Structure 1
């Protein structure tokens, strides 16, 4: 039986790639899209395929039989969509970042209460997941770490969800440490980037970039750099496809694609 899918955010560049992926996947069926800005604006392929676009998520969920919501919007609207879907026991695959910790915990509790799968992933590129996994391993041996993440200039949140997730994974295996000279002074505020438990995080936003991150480890007489680059948004589609397949078997919330991959 084909998995019935609704995509929120079909007009964005990620959303358009997701539309193409779902339409090309024989085991998926795109039954509708949610676009809060303009119901009449059609994404390529939607009109000719007869796929309805809803401005109101509740109307969409009422009108269509939905197995999975793929949300690729912004945190402002995504939270409402996901909460509404979970309460209706519609599974969710979420690529939106910028949620508060309180929002994440509420989504986690709602998924559990409704025994409904929900995968929230800061990054769906499989190479990025491996980059984070390898960084966690390296942090056991190199506790001095800086993260540089680079994205297109239309990205709203900084640092990226991937950088935040990378730091979280590293902190699980690394003792707290304040890096650099104890008397270090920023002569220009922000020059050293953000600090998360001593890990420095730097965000670049420039046209021409898509999604890139390098984690640099320093040790006596050596450095180690673990780097991943997404050259286009197709790089995220394999992870979204995998997440849709995996979320069908879940009855709870999962944060991070690495938790549904066999990385042992």
Structure 2
């Protein structure tokens, strides 16, 4: 029997590094119930989500690659279901659009969506009156870093962003780095006016370039999780803001907050700071 009090949640990408943490957090949350664990990896099909995570007991939820039938089931039985997506940039758009079409509220941690795709999803969510959260980063620390960067940008005209992630991350730059650059762009100024004409001896040596002159550099190495630096410079001084993660469990308070908030929305909202 479905508990009508607890929030029913589907995790898409359940066998991935972030997906496993999400499944564990939902299993331990008193106000949530795991309804589905979706993953396309063949090696995990049919395995119990609890046994895969070594929780000490089965959850009675098998790993399956059948997302749409699960969305259909939730749509027919429950009106306030949530889908958390930590999958891949190549599949996230269709998964989120399908969830909205079935009246399931998406919480999206997968990055790599283009601006056009986000706008299309926003238009679709508006028409369906279904809340959707797209969150490049679920960490309070990153929000504080971005706020500090906004404050610093009033006094510095030169800034570059370095983001560092594990080498299994498929998209670059990271969604967090792009969001940070977008926030700095709202200051209405162009950064990094160069006194000389630069020449790259190797293509990409200076990183990617935003419309307002901010350079973003992406590093991918095993041993990293997720890290970001925003470096400001002016004659005689450097001001560096940095955030590091050492365990993926640090994302879970933000993920659980988003799950609790998304069903209260009627449109797409971008960024964790909008729901704090």
| TM-score interval (norm. to shorter) | over 0.9
TM-score (norm 2): 0.90
5 Å-filtered alignment, 1:251-262, equals 251-261=266-276
Q: Which residue of 2 aligns with 1:48?
A: 58
5 Å-filtered alignment, 1:1-264, equals 1-38=5-42, 39-45=45-51, 48-64=58-74, 65=77, 67-196=81-210, 197-261=212-276
Matched residue SS, 2:91: helix
Deviation at 1:217, TM superposition (A): 0.7
TM-score (norm 1): 0.94
CA contact 1:125–1:235 (8 Å) conserved in 2: yes
Deviation at 1:132, TM superposition (A): 1.5
Contiguous gaps of at least 5 residues in structure 2: none
Matched residue SS, 1:142: coil
CA contact 2:49–2:58 (8 Å) conserved in 1: no
CA contact 1:151–1:211 (8 Å) conserved in 2: yes
Contiguous gaps of at least 5 residues in structure 1: none
State the distance in 2 between where 1:37 and 1:188 align: 37
State the distance in 2 between where 1:218 and 1:177 align: 11
Deviation at 1:41, TM superposition (A): 4.2
State the distance in 2 between where 1:130 and 1:195 align: 24
State the distance in 1 between where 2:148 and 2:261 align: 23
State the distance in 1 between where 2:14 and 2:181 align: 30
- 1:98-119 per-residue CA deviation (whole Å, 9 max, x = no partner) reads 1122211111011111111111
CA contact 1:117–1:249 (8 Å) conserved in 2: yes
State the distance in 1 between where 2:24 and 2:136 align: 21
Q: Higher mean Cα deviation, 124-133 or 88-97?
A: 124-133
State the distance in 2 between where 1:256 and 1:143 align: 25
State the distance in 1 between where 2:117 and 2:264 align: 23
State the distance in 2 between where 1:45 and 1:153 align: 27
Deviation at 1:143, TM superposition (A): 2.2
Aligned length: 261
